[in-house]
Amino acid sequence: MQHKLENDFIAVTFDESSLGIVSLLNKETGDDCVKHEQVRPLLALWTSKRGETGRPTSPLEGIRLLSCQSAATADGSKMLELTFEADPGGIRSSELGGAVSRELDVAGGNELGGAVSNELDGGGGNVLNVPGRNAAIGAVVRIRLAPASGECYWSLELRNEDADYDVTEVLFPYLGGMQLGSNRSENQLVYPHHAGEKIGDPVLHYASDKYMNFWRAQSFRSDDCYYREINYCGLASMTWMYLHDRKQGLYFSSHDERFPLTGLRVETGGPEEPWLGLSFRKFPHVGAGEKWHSGEFCLALTNCDWHWGAKRYRQWIDGHIAMPEHPSFLQDEYVLHQCYNFKRQENIDKRFADIPAMFDQGKSAFDMRHMLLASWNRKGFDRDYPEFQPDMELGTPWELFEGCSYVKEQNGFVTFYINARIFDVDSDFFPTLGRRWAIKDPEGGMMHEEYGPNRFVALCPSHDEWQNYLLDMSRWMVRSYGATGIYLDQLGSADPYPCYDSGHSHVRPDEFNTGYLRVLRKLLPEMRKMNPDSFLMIENCGDIYGSNVWGNLTWNGEKYDEFFNLYKYTFPEYVQINMVNPRRGLSGSERYEQLRRDTARAMLLGAVFWIGMDKFKDADDITLRFMEQAVKLRGKLQPFVRQGVYVDDDGIASIRASETVKVSHWTLQDGGHLYVIDNLGKATGYFEVEAASVGAVEESADDGGLQLWTAELGGEEGEVSWQWLDGRLRMALPESELSCIVVNAR
């Protein structure tokens, strides 16, 4: 039996026999997003036997659908309520270290080991019968349609009355068998890995060797699908995904204001079975007699591209986080001098006594006054963390203080690097502190990671002992060395994990994100008591973290469809810092062209330039000249970036030039507009915007009430060639590789 929930915009169909969603009809476009056979039920649960260690590696098998009821809410919304019960003690599909894990899956009514029989009751539902035992886990799924839109809201409530088993993981809601439109290759998936990715034809690419070898964000192959799953908040910066083609889109998001650890999962059958599946994983740990609510998930079917999803997610999260307030001087900063060249793997390049000369060199070359000091700690970069004491071979603490004082005397300021995540297993303190602070899996094991030749374990950010150590070390750098900023490395970048250490201060295993959030919210005010100009920076990004920090050092991997526009468009207030150094492993023209591409992207996004003088020590005159001119142009943009809002390509009607030409758009507080242009190939052509979008007063007038001017590499200003044509403002591309055009109303 099937149950349909519909309004004028969307129709959702649930099937009792498969326990899945078998149709998602976009009534505006007429497209049913589900075009392939379902491979999963709507939800899956993982359980572990109480009091025994073991990782729940396979999901629970067995469920009974008790009822399926339709209702209407007070605001006129239509709702479908599905009630299930399951018994974790009835079936044992896998047993690892005493833990039992099974899936709510009754496809086909199979008999499993003779212990359980699936039969159809009088209502046509799937029934789980366990001899001599009552079902002990209850689940209520609610699916609600908005009364006048294509939005659909989903929630799950669990009740655990089992005497032996805890619910440890939930995969819900699962939407599978999907494809938009008739041409799979036109499907694009927008995915929040770090600052964002935009993957064309994810069915093809997620099954490719490229994504199967994408380090910690890779795809995996299971028995029946390829899957990719990353956790929020860190590796995933937000909790929404968006699938779209040229005619329609599908927004899928977890709207959970508690901000727990959340997995964003994508599945596909690959090119041979070209379906796509989307879902979310939660880590609730529901014990005996406990109830748990998933928070709300939002699905929307639209006729728009990913920009719609960014606006919808921002609309939701604005009710739960505040935008950051930064010291005013930071609004003028657009370039940062990164110094990772003190000590690395026993090799010493610079010492604390060299800091004044290092500052002067960066100021002279690229007008940099913000120094970020890394590799200053005991044994240097990626060694002996978290022993953040000055390395004796680099100089004394007093020499470090004097170097920082010189920077301040020259109207500069210093940020100190502190790693916020890992503990070196070779540290003298690992047996006592490292083991105690480490994240533990259900078996009591630690999360081991390697960086270069060195081995570490990941620490639990929701355990108060590690939190307090991190807070104290950061405060000490401000008090003792006059640091203005603290850079917390890896905080928004590496894998978030659940922690099952019962000796830690957190209550539940899914508090990774809220632990870091507590650190940020406590640290920044205390730093500002010592120095009102203090600020925080983190590696990469996370939406809840961004409201407490000034800068996000954003990177991903350009070979993997990185799309920093996604995070910038969703949160234009958040400052991205992009690396614009000559790349290691490249040489000659290839190295130079990569630098130009990195710089162009940073320019389009209004990002702060991250520059290391040691990276340019072997650069040729052409490379140095390019970066000098790029920094000057970036400086020219800053007065507009600081008062503007990045809107990606909104309002740009067309670009008539080479496909490599890119234009980003900023709306300005004074009513003007900034267009930043990447034309590295120096193509001829033009781009057009709607006249009304730039505040044209009268198109028939010679100037339409507008003023236009341009700035190019090096910052030189010039005139713009432009004209009115069919209600649009057409602007010729400047000849420079990188440039901007400013449009102001008179």
In a domain? residue 34: yes
Are residues 522 and 635 located together in one domain of the fold?
Answer: yes
**Range among 33-47, 59-73, 141-155 with highest mean pLDDT value:** 141-155
In a domain? residue 364: yes
Q: Are strands 2-6 and 10-15 parallel, antiparallel or unpaired?
A: antiparallel
Q: CB neighbours (10 Å) of residue 452?
A: 10
Per-residue confidence at 106, pLDDT binned at 50, 70, 90? very low
- pLDDT, residue 217, reads 85
Q: Which of 439, 462, 476, 440 is nearest to 518 (CA)?
A: 462
Quick check: 657 and 683 in contact, CB under 8 A?
yes
CA dist 159 and 167 (Å) reads 9
- pLDDT, residue 699, reads 52
In a domain? residue 203: no
For the full predicted model, state whether its pTM sits above 0.75.
Answer: yes
Are residues 187 and 168 located together in one domain of the fold?
Answer: yes
Are residues 260 and 165 located together in one domain of the fold?
Answer: yes
Torsion of CA 399, 403, 409, 414, to 10 degrees: -130
Over the stretch 441-493, which tens digit does the pLDDT of each residue have? 999 999 999 999 999 999 999 999 999 999 999 999 999 999 999 999 999 99
In the predicted model, what is the mean pLDDT of residues 252-271?
Answer: 98
Over the stretch 177-193, which tens digit does the pLDDT of each residue have? 999 999 999 999 999 99
Integer Rg of the chain from CA? 28
What the block records as the tokens of 566 is: 């996604």
Q: Is the pLDDT of residue 197 over 70?
A: yes
Task: Compute the 3-state secondary structure of the chain and give helix, strand, coil in percent, each to the nearest 5.
Answer: 25, 35, 40
- Count the helices and strands in the chain (H runs, E runs): 12, 48
Per-residue confidence at 107, pLDDT binned at 50, 70, 90? very low
Q: Is the pLDDT of residue 61 over 90?
A: no
Dihedrals phi, psi of 465, to nearest 5 degrees: -65, -45
In a domain? residue 378: yes
Are residues 638 and 691 located together in one domain of the fold?
Answer: no
Query: Among 291, 317, 343, where does a domain finish?
Result: 317
In the predicted model, what is the mean pLDDT of residues 49-67?
Answer: 76
Angle at the Cα of 12 from the Cα atoms of 11 and 16, rounded to 5 degrees: 140
- pLDDT, residue 55, reads 66
Over the stretch 303-346, which tens digit does the pLDDT of each residue have? 999 999 999 999 999 999 999 999 999 999 999 999 999 999 99
Are residues 44 and 168 located together in one domain of the fold?
Answer: yes
In the predicted model, what is the mean pLDDT of residues 675-697?
Answer: 90
Q: Is the pLDDT of residue 91 over 90?
A: no
CATH at 520:
3.20.20.80
Which range marks the domain in which residue 692 is found? Answer: 645-745
In the predicted model, what is the mean pLDDT of residues 507-526?
Answer: 98
Domains held by the chain: number = 3
In a domain? residue 550: yes
Alpha-helical segments (H) within 438-489: 464-481
Query: Among 283, 317, 351, where does a domain finish?
Result: 317
In a domain? residue 222: no
Are residues 260 and 384 located together in one domain of the fold?
Answer: no
Angle at the Cα of 89 from the Cα atoms of 84 and 93, rounded to 5 degrees: 95
Are residues 631 and 657 located together in one domain of the fold?
Answer: no
**DSSP letter assigned to residue 216:** G
Are residues 661 and 634 located together in one domain of the fold?
Answer: no
Are residues 560 and 640 located together in one domain of the fold?
Answer: yes
- pLDDT, residue 115, reads 27
In a domain? residue 87: yes
Mean pLDDT of the chain: 91
What the block records as the tokens of 302 is: 């639209």
Q: How far is CA 175 from CA 23, 497, 553, 662, in A?
A: 10, 24, 34, 34
Q: CB neighbours (10 Å) of residue 28?
A: 15
| Higher pLDDT pick, 690 / 340 | 340
Calculate the CA 578 to chain-centre distance: 15
Over the stretch 650-672, which tens digit does the pLDDT of each residue have? 999 999 999 999 999 999 999 99
Query: Among 317, 350, 379, where does a domain finish?
Result: 317
CATH at 112:
2.70.98
In a domain? residue 447: no
CATH at 722:
2.60.40
Are residues 490 and 618 located together in one domain of the fold?
Answer: yes
Are residues 611 and 714 located together in one domain of the fold?
Answer: no
Per-residue confidence at 746, pLDDT binned at 50, 70, 90? low
Quick check: 710 and 719 in contact, CB under 8 A?
yes
Are residues 546 and 665 located together in one domain of the fold?
Answer: no
